[in-house]
Amino acid sequence: MRMRHSAVLAAVAGSALVLAACGGGDDDDTEGSAGPGMINFYTDKGAWEPQFLEVSDVSELSLGLGLDFTGYSDADQYSAFIRQSFRTNEKPDLFTWHTGSELEDLVAEDLLAPTTDIWESAISDGNVPEALREHFTVGDEQYCVPMNAAYWVMYYNKPLFEQYGLAEPTSWTELMTVADTLLANGVTPFYETNILFSFVWFQTLLAGTDPDLYNALSNGEASYTDPGIVEVMEQWRTMLETGYFGDPGDQTTPQDQLKNGTVAMINFGTFLSGQLNSVSMVSGTDYDFFVIPNANAELPQTSLIFETGPMCTAKDAENETSALQYAEWWMSEEAQTTWANARGDVSFNPKALVQDQALAELNEQSAGDDYLLLERYFEATPTPVLTAALDGFGAFVTNPGDPMPILETIQAEADAYWSEQG
């Protein structure tokens, strides 16, 4: 479904869950153009329209450039639209995409404008950590800029924790004790879903058990049928069969499930803070979050999953120069302070002034030596393999059983993919 500008704002706001130059010489006012001072911007995060337009209001004043927003709520439709647009004369000025193999695919077809100079300047100015650059690098060049950043943590219903005398766990054993206490009192401990985010607990268990194996899996150096992977799946299966998870088919938004006490905890990206705020939950009063302890207590660092999504510029787009100017501004403290607080999330820019104290502290702590940052499974996994994995994990959480047939199916896709990579 395609949604454009404020005419559909009410419809966008209703789907609160995310299942994300001023008249320059390249800005001709022809049919299909965004018009003077406006840049065409496309995204599969249609529900984020109010936040994007809030930043656009600031950029119009500061930069003389605004976003002509077009949002999609269906990821497959969006991907098809973007790929098709490159074969037309209306290439997207700015659009959101994915890192990993999907970014590499567009670069291989010479469809993206490089952003190496923007990255050099942003790193020099302290607007982005050097470590983030590798996720936007293909060959010797950088492409796109970070659209957002988020960390995956455990949100919890604070009144429920207080009711049963529970504290934030600092070890996996303590987390399981919290889950057992909730279950004994008739409260479902964890949120689960069988669509899109069905990979989350696989990600959490594997990264917190063997981060080296987690990374090896993403680059084809390990197999989904390796004993360490099977062990993680069996641990997940035990948790499912114990009754730790809610109904994976429940289409109630996670923020409403947490607010209503349907579940006590949600393993989710920090963008959930904004969604919780949208249903009148107050940070530090109605909800809070903690970094999920490692399942393997012997690991020297706590594995912390992060994600970052690119904002890209099409090569030879009508407003390419202006779009790259906007991308450079997007990395700035001004832009990221506005964006982080509009979203209720962290920022990749360490200078951004995040108003939510808990998010601000996490932003600072994540850069410390106590944490090992690992790329989210969704971006780290090649697309054909990811598709098979999402289907397999969705079936697994719906009907837990022997994980081996699922793992063999995923590995078949992995074998086919990596054999084509030379």
Listed in order, the ranges of the chain carrying CATH 3.40.190.10 are 2-148+307-367, 151-305+372-419
Identify which of 301, 113, 307, 283 has the alpha carbon closest to the alpha carbon of residue 199: 307
Residues 289-313: tens digit of each pLDDT: 999 999 999 999 999 999 999 999 9
Tell me the sheet residues that pair with 267.
Answer: 154
pLDDT of res. 36: 52
Kindly list the distances between the CA atom of residue 272 and the CA atoms of 2, 17, 20, 62, 292, in Å, as whole numbers in the listed order.
Answer: 23, 9, 10, 29, 15
pLDDT of res. 166: 98
As a whole-number percent, the residues of the chain with pLDDT over 70 amount to 91
As a whole-number percent, the residues of the chain with pLDDT over 90 amount to 83
Is-contact 355 341, C-beta < 8 A? Answer: yes
Residues 200-259: tens digit of each pLDDT: 999 999 999 999 999 999 999 999 999 999 999 999 999 999 999 999 999 999 999 999
pLDDT averaged over every residue in the chain: 90
Q: Is the pLDDT of residue 152 over 90?
A: yes
Is-contact 197 212, C-beta < 8 A? Answer: no
Task: For 165, list phi and psi in degrees, rounded to 5.
Answer: 65, 35
100: region left, alpha or beta (phi > 0 left; psi from -120 to 50 alpha): left
Residues 15-39: tens digit of each pLDDT: 333 333 333 334 443 334 444 589 9
Three-class secondary structure of residue 272 per DSSP: helix
pLDDT of res. 287: 98
pLDDT of res. 315: 96
Q: Which CATH class is domain 2-148+307-367?
A: alpha beta
Is-contact 359 346, C-beta < 8 A? Answer: yes
Residues 51-85: tens digit of each pLDDT: 999 999 999 999 999 999 999 999 889 999 999 99
Domain spanning 151-305+372-419, CATH architecture:
3-Layer(aba) Sandwich (3.40)
What is d(CA 205, CA 230) in angstroms, rounded to the nearest whole number?
Answer: 11
Q: Where are the alpha helices (DSSP H) in 31-157?
A: 49-62, 75-85, 101-108, 116-124
Q: What is the pTM of this model?
A: 0.83
Quick one: DSSP state of residue 130?
G
Q: Is the pLDDT of residue 97 over 50?
A: yes
What is d(CA 135, CA 389) in angstroms, rounded to the nearest whole number?
Answer: 22
What is d(CA 421, CA 406) in angstroms, rounded to the nearest whole number?
Answer: 23
**Dihedral through CA 261, CA 262, CA 266, CA 271, nearest 10?**
-80
